[in-house]
């Protein structure tokens, strides 16, 4: 038989497992933030290369290389977004 004291002790032992702000969750959030910053930097490089190519300060080879890199980054971001949306929709379909 489960006594109230045993139940309270079990709850106290399990509480840190669901507490917000755990180190792994914070680490994951910081990695996602760093990835977003790197993506933004990649897009800024494309803008700078495009502006440089229009003004004649950058050669077209550098522009094409930067555009190809940004295309790969954009496809990666879109694939991640699609997976997140798919997971969210799957959660919505779960019966309560």
pLDDT at 88 over 90: yes
Contact 31, 6 (CB under 8 A): no
Question: Residue 41, Cα to own-chain centre: how many angstroms?
Answer: 15
Domain with 58, as residue range(s), is: 20-93
Average pLDDT (69-89) is 93
Using a 10 angstrom Cβ sphere, with 0-12 exposed, 13-18 middle and 19 or more buried, the burial of residue 49 is buried
Determine the pLDDT at residue 23: 55
* Position 35 in a domain: yes
- Total number of domains in the chain: 1
3-48 pLDDT tens trace? 776 666 676 676 666 555 555 557 878 888 888 899 999 999 999 9
pLDDT at 65 over 60: yes
* Position 45 in a domain: yes
* Percent share of the chain, pLDDT over 70: 75
* Position 82 in a domain: yes
* Position 48 in a domain: yes
């Amino acid at each position: 038989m489960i006594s109230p004291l045993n139940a309270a002790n079990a709850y106290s032992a399990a509480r840190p497992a669901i507490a917000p702000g755990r180190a792994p969750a914070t680490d994951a959030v910081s990695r996602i933030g760093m990835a977003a910053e790197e993506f933004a930097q990649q897009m800024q490089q494309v803008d700078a290369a495009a502006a440089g190519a229009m003004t004649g300060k950058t050669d077209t080879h550098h522009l094409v290389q930067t555009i190809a890199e940004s295309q790969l980054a954009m496809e990666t971001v879109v694939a991640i977004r699609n997976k997140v949306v798919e997971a969210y929709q799957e959660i919505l379909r779960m019966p309560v």
